[in-house]
């Protein structure tokens, strides 16, 4: 295969991985700390995209749109956490799955009501190509990858160098002990949930110029995000990063070779990994 084509496929895959990563961290953290499956993260992803779209349409400033998207996404996540998830933390996993799916569907309905069903395009902030290793790659995709990289570093610093981050890591191990020390558990949960929502919204805003913004965008990406999360193992940040990169590459390079591979290959990979390790690459057994 043409080296240049392969290289741009790699870049494409990494930009996909960046978006998957931003949504998947939220899912992973929410599971690790609160033992819930938060399918509604896909809603905050959609909200991030739509708010970015609206702000860009009005102000023509893409970065203002992103900031607005992140803030609104985080805000909606906050409201949902306080109103709904707060009541269901102690229940079994299927409970949060169904409830969060209901929130996702309801949210899609609200999006439809406000923005209508027609897909909408957003122009990327800059359309240049830059020359990387002899290939022309869209500069915007490189930026997306860079931002995701910064987010990873930021999350790492947060979890390892701040006291709240350490409390979250401790809570992922054993929430009862954290409470027993006197740390406010519900505040910890809210912080984590809002962080997850904000990151998902960031993913949506960044991805919006690369695809069309439409009400079911959350559902379309759902299967891929979940393959990432399952392969990486729910609850592991490192696992999420690695499996995002893997799935991103498989989808991208796969579609270069033979289009249907884009979806078959990650699925086959997921099944094989699950056969060997039913909790994913870095996943842990559920210990409640």
Site string for another protein, 127-166 (x = CB under 8 A): ------------------------------------x--x
Among residues 9, 65, 107, 203, the one that binds another protein under rule CB under 8 A: 107
Alpha carbons 60 and 107: distance in angstroms, whole number: 26
**Contacting residue, 3, 60, 109, 257, with another protein by CB under 8 A:** 109
Kindly state the smallest distance separating residue 119's Cβ from another protein, in Å: 15
CB 98 within 8 A of CB 36: no
- Indicate which single residue of 17, 77, 103, 202 sits in contact with another protein (rule: CB under 8 A): 103
- CA distances to 189, 207, 245, 283 from 130, in Å: 42, 19, 22, 38
Residues in contact with another protein, counted by CB under 8 A, come to a total of: 66
Does residue 84 belong to the site contacting another protein (CB under 8 A)? yes
Among 69, 270, 281, 282, binds another protein (CB under 8 A): 270
Q: Is 185 in the site for another protein (CB under 8 A)?
A: yes
- Taking the complex as a whole, how short is the minimal distance between the CB of residue 3 and another protein, in angstroms? 28
Stretch near another protein under the rule CB under 8 A, chosen from 61-69, 100-108, 203-211, 249-257: 100-108
């Amino acid at each position: 295969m043409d080296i240049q084509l392969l290289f741009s496929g790699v870049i494409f895959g990494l930009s996909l991985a960046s978006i998957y990563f931003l949504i998947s961290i939220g899912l992973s953290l929410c599971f690790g700390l609160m033992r819930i499956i938060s399918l509604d993260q896909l809603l905050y992803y959609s909200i991030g995209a739509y708010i970015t779209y609206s702000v860009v349409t009005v102000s023509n400033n893409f970065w203002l749109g992103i900031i607005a998207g992140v803030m609104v996404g985080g805000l909606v996540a906050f409201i949902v956490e306080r109103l709904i998830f707060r009541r269901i933390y102690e229940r079994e996993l299927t409970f949060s799955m169904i409830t969060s799916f209901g929130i996702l569907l309801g949210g899609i309905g609200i999006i439809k009501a406000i923005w209508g069903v027609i897909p909408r395009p957003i122009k990327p902030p800059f359309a240049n190509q830059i020359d990387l290793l002899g290939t022309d790659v869209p500069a915007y995709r490189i930026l997306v990858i860079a931002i995701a990289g910064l987010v990873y570093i930021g999350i790492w610093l947060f979890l390892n160098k701040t006291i709240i981050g350490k409390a979250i890591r401790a809570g992922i191990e054993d929430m009862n002990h954290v409470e027993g020390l006197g740390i406010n558990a519900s505040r910890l949960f809210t912080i984590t949930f809002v962080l997850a929502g904000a990151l998902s919204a960031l993913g949506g805003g960044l991805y919006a110029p690369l695809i069309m913004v439409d009400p079911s965008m959350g559902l379309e990406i759902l299967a891929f995000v979940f393959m990432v999360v399952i392969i990486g193992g729910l609850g592991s940040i490192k696992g999420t990063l690695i499996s995002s990169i893997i799935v991103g590459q498989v989808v991208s390079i796969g579609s270069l070779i033979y289009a249907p591979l884009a979806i078959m290959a990650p699925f086959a990979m997921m099944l094989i990994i699950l056969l060997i390790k039913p909790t994913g690459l870095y996943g842990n057994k559920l210990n409640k």
